[in-house]
Amino acid sequence: MPDTSEQKKSLGEQFTTDTAPIGLPWRLLIFSGVLFGMSIMIYFGFKLGYESYLNSRVTDLDNQLSQLSNSINQQDQQKFVGFYSQIANLKTVLNQHIFTANVFPFLEKNTLPQIAYSEGKFNSQTLSMELFGRASSLQVLAQQLSQFEKAPELKTAVLKSTDFNQSGFISFTMSLSFTSDFLSKPI
């Protein structure tokens, strides 16, 4: 049996744990200190070196700008500012301009030969037009309305009123509502 006690000791010795050292982990502390020191050096390097370089560049560029502005006389500067202002205003106006001249080619292309317009009123706020005219028959008027409804330039085409004349023609009032894309650029 002496073998079992020796086996027990060797097993016990095998499973004993080492005691943990008490104190700070010195490797981690040294690594953290080196990183902190490097970050402070980088900060002061940027603060003292690069900031002064950038400030000198700003001063140089300010001097160049003042020399450039002094090289152009005041009257020419005022003329340029006025011209630029006119160009900017013109661009704004043209971007908001409604090209009502697009309506005439549209009507010419999409009107049947048996239809004659006597009057038209265009409303630029609603992008709509009210047409007054006459047609040779109700069938022709229905065909005209169908032609307008198929047109991609229109949102809606509505027949508002009809009236039979003694001369055999039909007077009508029609409302057309154009898409904003159609009137936003010239054709």
pLDDT in tens, 11-36: 666 666 666 566 668 888 899 999 99
**CA dist., res. 31 & res. 11, Å (int):** 39
Say if CB 178 and CB 128 are below 8 A apart.
yes
- Give me 93's structure tokens: 């106006």
Could you read off the pLDDT of 110-160 as tens digits, one per residue?
999 999 999 999 988 888 999 999 999 999 999 999 999 999 999 999 999
Residue 108 located in a structural domain: yes
In the predicted model, is pLDDT for residue 183 greater than 60? yes
**How confident is the model at residue 6, as a pLDDT?**
56
Question: Which residues have C-beta within 8 Å of that of residue 176, sequence separation ≥ 6?
Answer: 128, 129, 130, 131, 148, 154, 156, 157
**CA dist., res. 21 & res. 15, Å (int):** 18
**Strand residues in the chain grouped as ranges (E):** 115-123, 128-135, 154-164, 170-178
Mean model confidence pLDDT for the chain: 85
Residue 145 located in a structural domain: yes
Q: Kindly report the pTM of this predicted structure.
A: 0.51
Q: Report the percent of the chain where pLDDT is more than 90.
A: 49
**How confident is the model at residue 7, as a pLDDT?**
55
3-state class (DSSP) for residue 97: coil
Residue 47 located in a structural domain: no
Mean pLDDT of 83-101: 81
Mean pLDDT of 58-66: 92
3-state class (DSSP) for residue 21: coil
Residue 136 located in a structural domain: yes
Higher pLDDT among residues 165 and 131, named by residue:
131
Query: How many domains does the structure of the chain reveal?
Result: 1
- List beta partners, residue 107: none
Higher pLDDT among residues 24 and 54, named by residue:
54
**How confident is the model at residue 70, as a pLDDT?**
82
CATH number at residue 120: 3.30.1360.100
Residue 20 located in a structural domain: no
In the predicted model, is pLDDT for residue 60 greater than 90? yes
Question: Which residues have C-beta within 8 Å of that of residue 161, sequence separation ≥ 6?
Answer: 172, 173
Question: Which residues have C-beta within 8 Å of that of residue 178, sequence separation ≥ 6?
Answer: 103, 127, 128, 129, 153, 154, 155
Domain range enclosing 116: 100-184
Residue 141 located in a structural domain: yes
Mean pLDDT of 78-102: 83
Residue 27 located in a structural domain: no
In the predicted model, is pLDDT for residue 171 greater than 90? yes
Higher pLDDT among residues 76 and 1, named by residue:
76
Mean pLDDT of 177-183: 85
Residue 19 located in a structural domain: no
In the predicted model, is pLDDT for residue 4 greater than 70? no
Say if CB 98 and CB 179 are below 8 A apart.
no
Whole-Å CA distances, 134 to 110, 116, 139, 156: 15, 5, 12, 20
